[in-house]
Amino acid sequence: MTNYPTIHKNKDSFKIPPNLPNYENAVKDFKHWSDFEKELTYFDDHKINAAYNAIDRHIETFRRNKIALFYESETGEKKEYTFYDLFVLSNKAANIFKDLGLERGERAFLFLPRIPELFYCFLGIQKTGAITGTLFSAFGPQALEDRLSDSQAKIVITTKELKERIEIIRHNLPHLEHVIVVDSQDFTDKMEKAKEITHVARMDPDEPAFMLYTSGTTGKPKGVVHAHRAILMEYITAKWVLDLRDQDTYWCTADPGWVTGIAYEILGSWANGVTSVVFSGRFDPKIWYEILEKYSVSVWYTAPTAIRMLMAADSGIVKNYNLSNLRHLCSVGEPLNPECVEWGLKVFGLPFHDSWWQTETGGIMITNYPSMDIKPGSMGKPVPGIIAGIFKDDRHKLPVGQEGNLCIKCKWPSQMRAIWGRPKKYESYFFAEKGTGQKWYLSGDRATQDKDGYFWFVGRADDVIKTSGERVGPFEVESALVEHPAVIEAGVIGKPDPMRGEIIKAFVVLEKSYQERAKGKEGEKLIEDLKAYVKKNLAGHAYPREIEFIDKLPKTRSGKIMRRILKAKELGLPIGDTSTLEEY
Ligand code: ATP
Ligand code: MG
């Protein structure tokens, strides 16, 4: 679907040899997940604890006094923590939670901005054997009530400022026993007095470790539960895909309110012993480049929405920064437009590596590896050990080249263990393959696989447009539009049409210099230009018959375009759950 040439990798493509030197060999040699367990630490009887693997096991090694976390606040306040510091702080936090009666399997939720307390309290809860939940600090009372009430959380950990939102709904939360305020004198005193050592709960690998609610892009968020075992997948993918190693400084821009922040800012990344940067401020191109420079970031994991915003900002500004330490760039969360991959090459001398996964999969499933050629616009290939397939709606497997439901063969270590309180919903994600009976997981996304084994994202099943008998994925139309110099971002939907079933409608955010001009007659000309551009570069049937300029696309807090909101507004329908909408 893309006209972009393949980016070939050879030994000059990387500064140091990748952790996964040869993808094909790794796939061929893969036998069983348990073969990798020796890289983690299990207790007797095969018990495990994710937090122990992220932090404690490094204490006995050369990493004891290594920086685990460089923290910088929005106002520029800086702090640093070694692995030993996080070990002690999380032990103390665990002891405080235990004193409050938090028990194995009970839920404790973090409602915190991205401050150091979030990280060590997350680990502390894991150590008690309770289930850690995360909540974006921007959540309002309704979003909080939905999640805290559904999960029957016993403890919420928050700040003075955020606590007010909990107070509003507290009378509806009979299970909530304690609200811990981390910026209070009480917490400071408790931390001071708490013992530095704690007994880390020995968990069965299948016992729940954390839960979080999906991004809510397509509907009401679901409470996805993950087990301690998931750390194996998170560790291996952080090693193979993010290519983390000891000399790196790694920056994951995700918030732990989103699964990426848990799997690759806490568990998988620290399980590899890497030094991480956490910046709690907002997106701002200059500040982001400053962070990359100041901390000599070498591996950077971010999202398409941020990349598009950096592209929209004057790319000249990047020249003011010394980013020579960067060696590996990755992206997640949304389809990565091929133009973003190319832009990385142009500006940083490095392509972005797309990675596809979901809250439910608990870890990266399909991705581009440092050692593998990149086809810009493709998600890449399944992680060694993961088998992905494309299925028809009738549960028959489809051959290469055909578009269908993207599915993952069961089981893998970070496969979700439950949808909290909704066993039927959970079961609905799985099906038996016609003919073989093999169990598969249905992702809800549509994709194709090409003859070389690369997977291409088409769209979420709900978003795929059926126009004049053809199926069109919004992503390819959006990508075609984004390539036009006037366009920063685009959200594409199907709009019911009596003749064609649906027509394609695009909502377009224009580049600054085009915004004023597009208000008058020139706007109409630009619309025609854009239509012609997509017709020419994509396909005659896939161009948007309607184009509307808007200032901003509705997005989730994890940065995903919410096409369902564009559609509901267009059709004058109720807009549904908006708890994860970026701004109301
Ligand atoms: P909800 O399930 O509540 O609607 P959500 O699906 O956005 O929300 P997440 O689990 O955070 O919640 O996101 C996973 C989804 O994000 C995937 O199913 C896919 O649609 C999209 N996604 C993630 N990474 C990629 C990628 N690399 N390419 C294309 N799409 C991606
Ligand atoms: Mg989803």
Q: Which bound ligand lies closest to the C-alpha atom of 258?
A: 1
Q: Give alpha helix (H) positions in 152-230.
A: 160-169, 185-193
Q: Whose CA is nearest to atom 29 of ligand 1?
A: 335
Q: Is the CB of 250 under 6 A from ligand 1?
A: no
Between the CA of 459 and the centroid of ligand 2 the distance, in Å, is 11
What domains are there in the chain, each with its CATH number? 23-444 (3.40.50.12780), 465-571 (3.30.300.30)
Beta-strand pair 299-302/328-332: parallel
Between the CA of 254 and the centroid of ligand 1 the distance, in Å, is 14
Write the CB contacts of 319 (distance below 8 Å, at least 6 apart in sequence).
none
Question: In which band, very low, low, confident or very high, does the pLDDT at 398 lie, cut at 50, 70 and 90?
Answer: very high
Question: In which band, very low, low, confident or very high, does the pLDDT at 583 lie, cut at 50, 70 and 90?
Answer: low
Of 217, 379, 479, the one to substitute when testing ligand 1's pocket (max ligand atoms within 8 A of C-beta) is 217
Task: Express each pLDDT in 425-434 by its tens digit.
Answer: 999 999 999 9
Q: Is the CB of 359 under 6 A from ligand 1?
A: yes
Pairwise CA distance, residues 544 & 483, whole Å: 15
Q: Give alpha helix (H) positions in 449-540.
A: 474-482, 512-515, 521-537
**Cβ count within 10 A of residue 324:** 12
Q: Is the CB of 356 under 6 A from ligand 1?
A: yes
* The pLDDT of residue 576: 86
Average pLDDT over residues 468-492: 93
Q: Is the CB of 425 under 6 A from ligand 1?
A: no
Between the CA of 358 and the centroid of ligand 1 the distance, in Å, is 5
C-alpha count within 13 angstroms, C-beta hemisphere, residue 190: 19
210 SS3 class: strand
* The pLDDT of residue 275: 98
Pairwise CA distance, residues 172 & 349, whole Å: 53
Q: Is the CB of 560 under 6 A from ligand 1?
A: yes
Ligand 1 closest atom vs CA 558 = 11
Phi, psi of 51 (to 5 degrees): -65, -35
Beta-strand pair 249-252/455-460: unpaired
Write b or e for each residue in 113-145: b if 16 or more Cβ atoms lie within 10 A of its Cβ, otherwise e: bbbbbbbbbbbbbbbbbbbbbbbbbebeeebbb
Q: Is the CB of 205 under 6 A from ligand 1?
A: no
Q: Is the CB of 116 under 6 A from ligand 1?
A: no
Query: Which percentage of the chain shows pLDDT scores above 70?
Result: 99
pLDDT greater than 50 at residue 48:
yes
Mean pLDDT of the chain: 95
Q: Is the CB of 216 under 6 A from ligand 1?
A: yes
**Cβ count within 10 A of residue 3:** 11
Between the CA of 490 and the centroid of ligand 1 the distance, in Å, is 17
Average pLDDT over residues 492-498: 94
Phi, psi of 310 (to 5 degrees): -65, -40
Range in 92-96, 313-317, 322-326, 539-543 the model is least confident about = 313-317
Q: Return the DSSP state at 201.
A: P
- Cα–chain-centroid distance for residue 160? 28
Question: In which band, very low, low, confident or very high, does the pLDDT at 2 lie, cut at 50, 70 and 90?
Answer: low
Average pLDDT over residues 181-186: 98
Average pLDDT over residues 69-81: 97
* The pLDDT of residue 555: 94
Q: Is the CB of 335 under 6 A from ligand 1?
A: yes
Average pLDDT over residues 415-423: 97
Average pLDDT over residues 235-250: 98
* The pLDDT of residue 294: 98
* The pLDDT of residue 362: 98
The H or E element spanning position 237 is helix 231-240
Of 2, 134, 146, 215, the one to substitute when testing ligand 1's pocket (max ligand atoms within 8 A of C-beta) is 215
Question: In which band, very low, low, confident or very high, does the pLDDT at 238 lie, cut at 50, 70 and 90?
Answer: very high
Per 3-state DSSP, what percentage of the chain is helix, strand, and coil (rounded to 5)?
35, 25, 40
Question: In which band, very low, low, confident or very high, does the pLDDT at 175 lie, cut at 50, 70 and 90?
Answer: very high
376 SS3 class: coil
Phi, psi of 389 (to 5 degrees): -145, 160
Q: Whose CA is nearest to atom 15 of ligand 1?
A: 358
Evaluated on CA atoms 137, 139, 145, 147, the torsion sign reads negative
Pairwise CA distance, residues 155 & 51, whole Å: 19
Between the CA of 357 and the centroid of ligand 1 the distance, in Å, is 7
Q: Return the DSSP state at 264.
A: I
Contact (Cβ atoms closer than 8 angstroms) between residue 131 and residue 211: yes
SS (H, E, C) 377-425: CCCEEECCCCCEEEECCCCCECCCCCCEEEEEECCCCCCCCEECCCHHH
Question: In which band, very low, low, confident or very high, does the pLDDT at 216 lie, cut at 50, 70 and 90?
Answer: confident
Average pLDDT over residues 348-366: 97
Contact (Cβ atoms closer than 8 angstroms) between residue 381 and residue 449: no
Question: In which band, very low, low, confident or very high, does the pLDDT at 584 lie, cut at 50, 70 and 90?
Answer: very low
pLDDT greater than 90 at residue 13:
no
Contact (Cβ atoms closer than 8 angstroms) between residue 244 and residue 272: yes
Q: Which bound ligand lies closest to the C-alpha atom of 460?
A: 1
Between the CA of 56 and the centroid of ligand 1 the distance, in Å, is 32
9 SS3 class: coil
Q: Which structure tokens are listed for 29?
A: 């040699």
Q: ∠ CA(255), CA(260), CA(264), 5° rounding? A: 100
Write b or e for each residue in 490-520: b if 16 or more Cβ atoms lie within 10 A of its Cβ, otherwise e: bbbbbbeeeebebbbbbbbbbeeebeeebee
Question: In which band, very low, low, confident or very high, does the pLDDT at 14 lie, cut at 50, 70 and 90?
Answer: confident
| Angstrom distances, CA of residue 399 to CA of 391, 396, 403, 447, 449 | 9, 10, 9, 12, 8
The H or E element spanning position 122 is helix 116-128
* The pLDDT of residue 185: 98
Question: In which band, very low, low, confident or very high, does the pLDDT at 578 lie, cut at 50, 70 and 90?
Answer: confident
* The pLDDT of residue 459: 93
| The residue to which tokens 């199926």 are assigned | 471
* The pLDDT of residue 251: 98
Query: Which percentage of the chain shows pLDDT scores above 90?
Result: 89
What is this structure's pTM? 0.95
Q: Is the CB of 404 under 6 A from ligand 1?
A: no
For residue 440, the cross-strand partners are 409, 431
Average pLDDT over residues 292-321: 93
Task: Express each pLDDT in 109-118 by its tens digit.
Answer: 999 999 999 9
Neighbours of ion ligand 2 (CB under 5 A): 214
Which has more pLDDT, 314 or 292? 292
- Asked if residue 569 has a cis previous peptide bond (ω within 30° of 0), the answer is no
Pairwise CA distance, residues 199 & 191, whole Å: 17
* The pLDDT of residue 315: 67
Q: Is the CB of 219 under 6 A from ligand 1?
A: yes
Q: Is the CB of 332 under 6 A from ligand 1?
A: yes
Q: Which long-range contacts (CB under 8 A, 24 or more apart) does 400-403 make?
A: 400/449, 400/450, 400/451, 401/448, 401/449, 401/450, 401/451, 402/448, 403/446, 403/447, 403/448, 403/458, 403/471, 403/473
DSSP string, 67-120: EEEEEE-TT--EEEEEHHHHHHHHHHHHHHHHHTT--TT-EEEEE--SSHHHHH
* The pLDDT of residue 470: 87
Q: Return the DSSP state at 45.
A: G
Q: Is the CB of 379 under 6 A from ligand 1?
A: yes
Pairwise CA distance, residues 167 & 294, whole Å: 39
Average pLDDT over residues 258-275: 98
Write the CB contacts of 453 (distance below 8 Å, at least 6 apart in sequence).
381
Average pLDDT over residues 221-227: 95
| Angstrom distances, CA of residue 555 to CA of 183, 217, 250 | 30, 8, 26
Ligand 1 closest atom vs CA 216 = 3
